[in-house]
Amino acid sequence: MAAITMKNIVKQYGDGFPAVNDVSLDIADGEFMILVGPSGCGKSTLLRMIVGLEDITSGDMLIGDERVNEKAPRDRNLSMVFQNYALYPHLTVFENIAFPLRLHKVSDTQVKERVQKAAALLELTEHLDRKPANLSGGQRQRVAMGRAIVREAQAFLFDEPLSNLDAKLRGQMRTEISRLQKRLGITTVYVTHDQVEAMTLGDRVAVLRKGVLQQVASPRTLYEEPVNLFVAGFIGSPPMNFIPAAVADGELRTPFGPMRLPQTRSVDLSGREMVLVGARPEAFEDAAVVSDTVRDHGMTFDANVDVIEWLGNEQYAYVPYEAPDDIRKRLAELERELDSEAMRTQLVVSLDATSRLAEGSAAPLWLDLRTVHIFDPASGDNLTVSPTRGVEAPARQSGQSTADRGSEAGASDEDSRPQTPQAGAGEGTASG
């Protein structure tokens, strides 16, 4: 296993088009890194440069401490993990896993030892004599990973491995890959354009836009502190709402009335005429169900609820509104770039399942202002987030297990402070 370090990596194809543009990224030993972005943003190109299938135009690619720019793929000892189509149907599970060792003429005793060790890790021991066709999708995935494990590869690389599967199988495989990577602790780079995979699989997520790295952070930070409109719009479903606000006398005027930002979200508005206020669907609520203790943290306004979608555990309300032409244009542009669901000028609001708001009614809604973001519509910059949020350090030290992935012990600045020992626990027993 090894760390992967990219320094100012550029890839220009024949026509001079920079498919990857000055990407610097440190992937820690044992880390699960996701590369995400819309189709054509350069994810595959970057992954292929790591493996050695694509020449690097400029910059340095390091695996461990070694510069590998000029090394052939087979000398990099990395493993691209493919789907079941890469398994040989006429070979047993044992021989499928053993395949790379057979190619390298490894002795029979060695082969047996390594395959059995991998099979035990992958819970495939009792299936070693079976053929791939008789296995479930998840088991086949494990066989494919077993092949990578016996090679003792430095890292696993995946390029949208689940994109051809149906939704149910995709969910299963996602869990399978996550569980295995945690158990093995092998450095992993995983390319996807699916934001659910991006949010659930990785320790950190690197968001690419047109070959340029936008933000590298834990899923939680990406969601809560996106550095710009692009990241904010890409992560989250339904997406963040972007509400136009005119700046007048230092105050924000929105289609839903004046908005007074709390101290924690306030930004310097001097010299600005217009900003976009970003608010996640869940920042809104039916004002009728908001308790008095939190009401003061937000604004209450009258909205014309157009459509309501009731999903049992939650419901979404749609609230159309008027926006100036240039803002409409900017939002349409963003939508095209994100390949995303329509970001027309309507609010998508998540309501408590108990809310009794009806379609076609004018109703008071409440917006929690403690979590809103203020964006510059032209540059897209998030004015509420400090620029240092762009690249977040790896959550873990090299070699440490990834058992905390998915828990709150994520990777934000706050979380990486040393923990105080819990009451009753002796000094020095706290992990941290």
Cβ 161 to Mg ion shortest distance, Å: 12
Which residue type, as a one-letter code, is found at position 316?
A: Y
Among 41, 51, 198, 231, binds ligand ADP (CB under 6 A): 41
Cβ-based nearer residue to Mg ion, 44 or 355: 44
Pick between residue 82 and residue 316 the one whose CB is nearest to ligand ADP: 82
Nearest residue to 319 via CA among 275, 279, 375: 279
Which tokens go with 217?
């952070």
Residue 18 near residue 4, CB atoms below 8 Å:
no
Among residues 4, 5, 30, 44, which is the contact residue for ligand ADP, using CB under 6 A? 44
Q: Quote the CA–CA distance of 231 and 221 in Å, as a whole number.
A: 11
Report if residue 19 touches ligand ADP, rule: CB under 6 A: yes
Compare residues 191 and 252 and give the one whose CB is closer to Mg ion: 191
Among 7, 40, 289, 406, binds ligand ADP (CB under 6 A): 40
Closest distance between Mg ion and the C-beta of residue 345, in Å? 32
Q: Taking the complex as a whole, how short is the minimal distance between the CB of residue 20 and ligand ADP, in angstroms?
A: 7
Enter the tokens of residue 171: 């969910």
Which of ligand ADP, Mg ion, none sits in contact with 349, Cβ below 5 to 8 A by type?
Answer: none
Q: Which is nearer to Mg ion, 214 or 315 (CB)?
A: 214
* CA dist., res. 424 & res. 352, Å (int): 39
Closest CB 51 distance from ligand ADP, rounded Å: 13
| Tokens representing residue 192 in the block | 């996807």
Measured from the CB of residue 47, what is the shortest distance to ligand ADP in angstroms?
A: 8
If one asks whether residue 195 binds ligand ADP (CB under 6 A), the answer comes out as no
Count of residues engaged in binding ligand ADP, rule: CB under 6 A: 10
Which residues in 45-84 contact ligand ADP (CB under 6 A)?
Answer: 45
Choice from 8, 13, 401, 430 touching ligand ADP (CB under 6 A): 13
- Contact flags string 27-56 toward Mg ion, x per CB under 5 A: -----------------x------------
Q: Which of 13, 310 has the CB closer to ligand ADP?
A: 13
Half-sphere exposure of 32 (CA within 13 A, CB side): 28
Nearest to 210 by CA among 63, 339, 67: 339
Per-residue CA distances from 71 to 3, 11, 68, 249, 299 (Å): 17, 17, 5, 61, 59
Interface with Mg ion includes 384 (CB under 5 A)?
A: no
End-to-end CA distance of the chain: 23
Give, for 172, the enclosing helix (H) or strand (E): helix 167-184
Q: Which of 177, 215, 170 is nearest to 196 (CA)?
A: 170
Of 208 and 245, which has the nearer Cβ to ligand ADP?
Answer: 208
44 or 178: whose CB is closer to ligand ADP?
44
Contact between 42 and ligand ADP per CB under 6 A: yes
Residue from the set 16, 39, 90, 126 that interacts with ligand ADP by CB under 6 A: 39
What would the two tokens of residue 59 be? 């910059």
Considering CB distances under 5 to 8 angstroms, the limit depending on partner class, which of Mg ion, ligand ADP, none binds residue 79? none
Alpha-carbon gap, residue 1 to 221, rounded angstroms:
27
Rg of the chain taking only CA atoms, in angstroms: 25
Phi, psi of 85 (to 5 degrees): -65, -15
Token pair, residue 79, equals 């493993």
d(CA 123, CA 126): 8
Cβ closest to Mg ion, residue 44 vs residue 96: 44
CB 359 within 8 A of CB 308: yes
Quick one: 42 or 137, whose CB is closer to ligand ADP? 42
Q: Would you tell me which residues interact with Mg ion (CB under 5 A)? A: 44
Residues lying near ligand ADP in the complex (CB under 6 A): 13, 19, 37, 39-45
